Chain A
Amino acid sequence: AQSVAQPEDQVNVAEGNPLTVKCTYSVSGNPYLFWYVQYPNRGLQFLLKYITGDNLVKGSYGFEAEFNKSQTSFHLKKPSALVSDSALYFCAVRDDSSASKIIFGSGTRLSIRP
């Protein structure tokens, strides 16, 4: 069975510092991995995804994520945090053997202090 874990409920970072939001996964086949962001009172917005190829994926708003197969991780990163990055972040995974079952993590609240 596939699963995804976001071990931190909350991450606090000072503006201008690098940020990392962690995600680990478990699938039986090859993973398709996603990051979504949710701003207050809004639906989820797509940030980036990994399907195949380069392990470092670049996405919207200066975010990137690194796929690490040996550690089964897909951590979200940004070199310099902005206050406007404060939001709820969800990691999601789909097994390549399943057409429509995507599993979301429990979410990590990112708080950037000025």
Chain B
Amino acid sequence: EAQVTQNPRYLITVTGKKLTVTCSQNMNHEYMSWYRQDPGLGLRQIYYSMNVEVTDKGDVPEGYKVSRKEKRNFPLILESPSPNQTSLYFCASSTPGGGGGETQYFGPGTRLLVL
């Protein structure tokens, strides 16, 4: 089954304790992105990657890191989490083509609470 998986689905942590949220897709997609979803703000892009070893900042990259060492994986790293990073996080993947109208496939989400 074609899918994007994220782990963990739920995470409670404390300020300053490094954490990683994993994302993996099995569709051989080149593009991958991370978003955060906050009430009233919709989805905001954190980072995106157009291919292996190619990453770029989205709209809200502060406090986050990513890496793309393999095509299928795109982990999100919070080196020193803070309470304002409490949010619902989504990973998404897509493949180029379609003249820029490529459809994104989303993971199930990771709900993070930073105390």
Contact = CB atoms under 8 A, between A and B. Distances in A.
Interface of A: 6, 9, 32, 34, 36, 41-46, 49-52, 90, 92, 94, 96, 99-102, 104-107
Contacts of B99: 32, 51-52, 96
B101 to A, nearest CB: 4
B108 A43 contact: yes
B106 A51 contact: no
B78 interface: no
A44 B42 contact: no
Interface of B: 4, 31, 33, 35, 40-45, 48, 50, 56, 58, 90, 92, 96, 98-101, 103-109
A1 to B, nearest CB: 11
Contacts of B101: 32, 34, 49-51, 94
Contact of B109 (A34, A43, A52, A105): A43
B106 A45 contact: yes
A106 B100 contact: no
B32 to A, nearest CB: 10
B4 A43 contact: yes
A32 B42 contact: no
Contacts of A6: 42
22 contacts: A32-B99, A32-B100, A32-B101, A41-B108, A43-B90, A43-B106, A44-B104, A46-B104, A49-B101, A50-B101, A51-B98, A90-B42, A90-B43, A92-B43, A99-B96, A100-B31, A101-B58, A102-B45, A104-B43, A104-B44, A105-B42, A106-B40
A90 to B, nearest CB: 6
Nearest to A46: B103
Contacts of A44: 43, 90, 92, 104, 106
Which of B44, B90, B106 has the most A CB atoms < 10 Å from its CB?
B106
